[in-house]
Each structure stands twice: as C-alpha cells, then as structure tokens.
Structure 1
Amino acid sequence: MQLTDTDILEAIRQGNERVFEVVFRKYYQALCNYAFGLLKDMDDAEEIVQGMFLKVWDQRQDLEITVSLKSYLYRAVHNTCLNRIKHLKIQDTYRQHVGDFMENNHVSATDELYKAELEARIAEAIEKLPEQCRLIFRMSRFEELKYQEIANELQLSVKTVENQIGKALKILRQELAEYLPSILWLGLLLFHH
C-alpha cells in the first residue's frame, strides 16, 4: 500500500523509525547531489543532508509541512546550503585576518582525534555483531555490494540479507548510543542501497 505524505508525516511524528528510514533511503542520494550542485563539495553536501535528516527526526513531534514532503526536504537543504555559503564567505574573511596556519591545524587536529575515536568505537561495535550478521553488514557497507549481490554470493534470500542488515543497524545503534544523535544513522550513512 502506497503511503501518502500525510501518513508518512504522522508515522514520523509518532517516532516510526522504519518509515523514516524509507524516506531517508528514497531521498538521500538525490538531496546530496542537489547540495553538491550548490556547494561543489560532496563532504559538505553529505554533512548538510545528514544534518537536515537528524533535525527532522529530532523535531519530528513539531513537524508542520504545508508543501509536499519532497519539496520540504529540498527547500530545507537549499536554505542550509545558502547559509553554509554565507558562513564560508565570513570564515574566509576571518581566516585572512587570523592566519590560515593556526586555525587549520587546530581544526584538523580536533577533527582527526574525534574521527579516530569514533572509528575505533564503530570497529568494536561491528566486531560484536553475530558472525553472519557481521559478514553481511561488511559486504554491504565496506565492499559496497548490493543486497542482491550479497544474497547471490552467500546463497541466501534478499529478505534474509535485508533482515540481517536491519539487525546489524539495531545492534549498532544500541552499542553506539552514547554518540547519539551525531551518528544515529551511521549504518545508513556509510553506503546506500
């Protein structure tokens, strides 16, 4: 049964993660491409789209959308991109006054530390997954295989692969709970099928 925008919004307001995940998968890549067209930087584009989805989820109970869901998502990304462009222009002016060297080194050192800690925690969490679950998750996220390709290789049904990925994401969310909300959708954000 095809859900209307009204049904989808109501489900998200009520905290339905499955419906939210469907919306995320449906629009994520197209929104990233749209943001990339404005920013010319895919990392920034992905960060903005991820941030927008997290904001929608965090504020789901107060969500009021008067246009179509698709229009709402594109408008939110568009406005955030424009704000980022303005912010970057201000930042560039500031850098000229303060000096590139100090600021860039400070930011990158902090980022690298956080990233290294996060990667270590993610690796530990993945190791705790049951064996088949871990294998399927790695094939999907790190080898970038599609569900059908994994199913063929392991001689499983696509439904089993989907269920194992769902199980992996659920376990990872629990294991990485202290990092919420910044990596709430980590499993989804790594690669998209």
Structure 2
Amino acid sequence: MQETILPSVQLTDQQTLDAIREGNERVFETLFREHYAALCQYAFTLLRDRDDAEEEVQALFLTFWERRETLLISTSLKAYLFRSVHNRCLNRIKHLSIREEHRQHVTHVGEAPSLSPVDALAGQELSERIDEAMKQLPEQCRRVFYLSRFEELRYGEIAERLGISVKTVENQIGKALRILRLELADFLVLWLLLGLNGF
C-alpha cells in the first residue's frame, strides 16, 4: 500500500479523512491515538463503566475504518467522533435491559459462545499481553488490581483484606489502569488494524 500522506505532518481534517479513505493506516493510527483517551473518558461519563466505555470507542473506530470510503462528515473530525460516541452510548443505555433479558433467555448452562479462529487467536494473544503487562505493575498495585478485576472484590473488601484504606485502593486501581493502557496501547491499535484488514 502506498502512503502519500504521512501522519508526522500536521494535516487538516480533510487531508486526514482523505488519507484514511485511501487506506492509510498510519494516519488512522494517529487519529486513534490522538482521540482515544478523551473519547473513553467521555463515554465513561455516560455509561459509568470503563470497560463498556472502551468497548464503544473501539467499536466506533472499527466502524470508522470499515466505512471510511463512504463517510460523510460535515463537522470537524473531533466533533464527529464525540457525537458518534455520544450516540453509541445512548443507544447502548437504551438497549441494555433488552440485551440482558435476551442473553438470559438464550444462554444455557454449559453452552459457550462460538468464536471465529481470528477472535480466539486475538483473545489468546490479548490475554498473554495482559499477563505480561500485569508483571510491570508494582506489587501492591498488582495485588489490588487482581483482587478487583479477577476476584471481583469491592474496594472496601480489598481494603480490609490488605489492611489499607479505600482511598489507597482507588489510587492503586487508577495507577494500574494507566500503566496497563500504556503497555497495551500498541497491541490495541494493531488488533484494530489486523481485524479490519480481513485476517
């Protein structure tokens, strides 16, 4: 693929959109990195769940790339991205109860969801990358994060078990998330691009 426009140069919104329409992955990655964190924070203010917020933002970028050749954007790219996240979050909230009811209806004991080979491989690689990233956390930070995310303990329960304050637990969780996002940023962008290119 030839890339006639490089993201290292300051591009206008129109130049950025034109480059992405031509399949320029480097420009797309630059757009992703520039807005991802802020979009996740905005989505979180609507959904109050960081995992859900990141899922919606990632889905937005997936859709953006898939439909890049036919996108009609009359505002700035930043405004378009924030409006799209806003709409996705409202739609998620609207259908949350319906989806949960449907999930309970169709899910049977012992029945596992089927995954494509690509999804299974991506999930396995992500799991391995998370394990590696976890090793980069300071010991207390890692213990707090593990108890929160993998044993699903409440902050108060973690504080009691480790003999620390709830405020310390909150701080350690925030620190862990910041470190993990940095450690996994490259993988996330790569996963998006690979997934979008038909692997």
Q: Which amino acid aligns with 2:71?
A: L
Structure ranking higher in helix proportion: 1
Distance 1:87 1:67, change over 3 A: same
Q: How does 1:38-117 map to 2 (within 5 A)?
A: 38-92=46-100, 98=105, 103=107, 109-110=112-113, 117=121
Distance 1:31 1:88 in 2: 20
Which of 24, 33, 39 is equivalent to 2:41? 33
| TM-score, structure 1 normalization | 0.56
Distance 1:18 1:87, change over 3 A: same
More divergent stretch after superposition (18-27 vs 114-123): 114-123
Shift of 1:4: 0.7
Distance 1:43 1:112, change over 3 A: farther
Distance 1:94 1:51, change over 3 A: closer
Are 1:120 and 2:135 counterparts? no
Distance 2:56 2:197 in 1: 12
Distance 1:41 1:8 in 2: 31
**Cα deviations across residues 122-141 of structure 1 (Å, max 9, x unaligned)?**
689x8xxxxxxxxxxx77x9
Aligned-pair RMSD on alpha carbons?
A: 4.0
Distance 1:142 1:69, change over 3 A: farther
Give structure 2 stretches of 5+ with no counterpart: 1-8, 138-185
Distance 1:18 1:112, change over 3 A: closer
| TM-score, structure 2 normalization | 0.55
**Cα deviations across residues 104-150 of structure 1 (Å, max 9, x unaligned)?**
8568x4389987654435689x8xxxxxxxxxxx77x9748xxxxxx
Distance 1:48 1:111, change over 3 A: farther
Shift of 1:64: 1.4
Q: Which amino acid aligns with 2:66?
A: D
- 2:146 matched to which residue of 1? none
- 1:181 matched to which residue of 2? 196
Identity, % of aligned positions: 47
Give structure 1 stretches of 5+ with no counterpart: 127-137, 145-167, 185-193
